[in-house]
Amino acid sequence: MTRTPITVLTYGTFDLFHHGHVRLLQRLSQLGDELIVGCSTDEFNDIKGKRCVMPFSQRREVLEACRYVTRVIPEETWEQKRSDIVNHNVSIFAMGDDWTGHFDDLGDLTRVLYLPRTPDVSTTELKTRIQQRVSAA
């Protein structure tokens, strides 16, 4: 009897890829056989009011180069998560714990997990530190 592969799905913007992203993706990859990452497109980030330093094509390229990631798909809408879970036969939907409770409704389709964020690092904090250094120069 063959075992059904465990597919893990997560989403994010992944701007200014840093060690917190690496650690999250590593932990997620350890939960299953395949890790699919939905990377927010530039157009979707505009809808969310997010401004990225790196365009989608570059963020996607970085994610595809990460050894923990099996596949990268574009995240274009909030609503696509349900169809992505079904279409990719997802066993586990996982996000950082800053999203705790936001995706519990997906529990009727798959297991929903929220993992702790890496302490003392965030893209927002990195952007702030960069801006402070530029302003001080």
Amino acid 3: pLDDT? 84
The predicted pLDDT at position 8 comes to 98
Q: Work out the burial of residue 70: count CB atoms within 10 Å of its CB; fewer than 13 is exposed, 13-18 middle, 19 or more buried.
A: middle
pTM of the model: 0.88
What is the spatial distance between Cα 93 and Cα 5, in angstroms, rounded to a whole number? 14
Would the CA dihedral through 101, 102, 108, 112 be positive or negative? negative
pLDDT lower than 70: segments of the chain:
119, 121, 123-124, 126-130, 133
- Domain range 7-136, CATH class: alpha beta
Residue type, 63: L
Please identify every residue annotated as catalytic: 48, 50
Q: Where are the domains of the chain?
A: 7-136
